Amino acid sequence: MHPLNKKVKFMKDSIDFGSMEIPKLFRKLLIPTVLGMVFSAVFVITDGIFVGQGIGSDALAAVNITAPLFLISTGIGLMFGVGASVVASIHLSQGKLKAARINVTQAVVVSSLFLAVLWGVVCLFAPQVAVWLGSSERLLPLAVEYMYWFLPFLVFSALLSSGMFFVRLDGSPNYAMLCNAIPAVVNILLDYVFIFIFKWGMMGAALATSLGYILGAGMIVVYLSRRKNVIHFCRVKLSKKSMRLTWRNVRYMCHLGASTFLCEAAIACMMFAGNYVFIHYLGEDGVAAFSIACYFFPIIFMVYNAIGQSAQPILSYNFGAGDAMRVRSAFRLALGTAVTCGLVFFALTALFNHQIVAMFIDRSYPAYDIAVAGLPLFASGFIFFAVNIVSIGYFQSVERARPAMMITVLRGFVFMVLCLFGLPLLLKVPGIWLAVPLAEILTFLVIMAIYYRKHQWVRR
């Protein structure tokens, strides 16, 4: 047996990526990962519910205006998380423990420094950025207030996003779940206290969320600081040679994880373009209605992402070990799970659209009826979305960054923008809601073309 496999068997959650049966291994990773993502979803939904019910429809729209900035931060964290974990998984499969630890340390340090500088600069120009993101004069004060209390803490959001990859790779998916669950509970409590008791408005909503991210990131740092774990922080040298190697490693991580960043950026693009289109056709009430879909869409993405993230270490480890059969088995299992979830999500959204909208805003707001009519149309693409996200994750996990990048760019930018601005010209308001599903269907057709032409999914 490989010496690393012996060590992995004594990890916290008894996970062996190299020999455990694929269905059992996938379940061990999937259940806590999905639960963790559910808590992340609660994190997101709670903010929307408290903002909508406690501050109002305009506040909900203002948060949606600033949401692309959050998604960019999360995307950068996921990019480094995926890139570093793929590289580290392959190193672990080859017994190179020190190299895996160095990759993880470099990912955390470089991404944190970059985001601290980025959001510091953006805060200096918050009003201009809010206008550029599509804010109207009516929404601008609320959007800027939220940004001032939210942007400085997004570095912790990114650290939480990337850190959970490393914790799962170390064989502790249950701890990774807690890193989502505990901050979610804290966020719910603080949202209630800050918005309904202290009456702090947008500042309270932003601060509650930020403190939750700080707590989750702190848990990640504590875990990765324990030297008894296989994956832990190590000291990185500051010599010229080390800096060159760090730059090389970071570039490769970003290359592998770029598709994940673009998946998040695609949601930001959807919100950015959607805000412009909705405000053009339906004004601020349209943006408020769209914001409910935008709270809902990342939740679906989180579950699909959880499925992909659960498969990722299995795929990458066995790809590095040269076991193509286990790679194929893991991918098919992930794909079937995602499609099943897509069917369930579509059915629930179509059946309970009134109840979903009522969680966020009162029936007295004009945005209520707009959202109720639009959500089932919006949800019609969830099944195709499932296949697309898991397929992108597969290509990344086996170091095939080029097809992953091509699919992501087409899906999230080319098709999305064309559909959002083009379909309403033909179908008016229903066309706005159907734009995202159409973009997912077009992406699915591209993936099918790749499959039938080159068989890249399951063959090397």
pLDDT digits (tens, 9 = 90+) for 370-389: 999 999 999 999 999 999 99
The pLDDT value recorded for residue 13 is 53
The pLDDT value recorded for residue 153 is 93
Tell me: do 56 and 197 sit in the same domain.
yes
CB 70 within 8 A of CB 271: no
**Calpha distance 20→170 (Å, rounded):** 15
**Calpha distance 74→72 (Å, rounded):** 6
**Calpha distance 319→93 (Å, rounded):** 9
Tell me: do 34 and 138 sit in the same domain.
yes
CB 313 within 8 A of CB 231: no
Tell me: do 156 and 79 sit in the same domain.
yes
Which residue stretches of the chain have pLDDT < 50?
Answer: 1-11, 456-460
Tell me: do 227 and 280 sit in the same domain.
no
Tell me: do 99 and 168 sit in the same domain.
yes
The pLDDT value recorded for residue 57 is 87
The pLDDT value recorded for residue 277 is 94
Identify whether 14 is part of a domain: no
Would you state the structure tokens that stand for residue 302, as one six-digit string?
């989180």
Count the domains in the chain: 2
Output the CA torsion 34→35→37→42 (10° steps).
140
The pLDDT value recorded for residue 11 is 46
**Sign of the dihedral through C-alpha 380, 382, 388, 391:** negative
CB contact set of 180 (below 8 Å; sequence gap of 6+): 35, 36, 37, 39, 40, 43, 160, 164, 216
Tell me: do 144 and 284 sit in the same domain.
no
Identify whether 9 is part of a domain: no
Tell me: do 57 and 130 sit in the same domain.
yes
Q: Cα–Cα distances in Å, from 192 out to 134, 144, 270, 393, 434?
A: 29, 21, 29, 36, 35
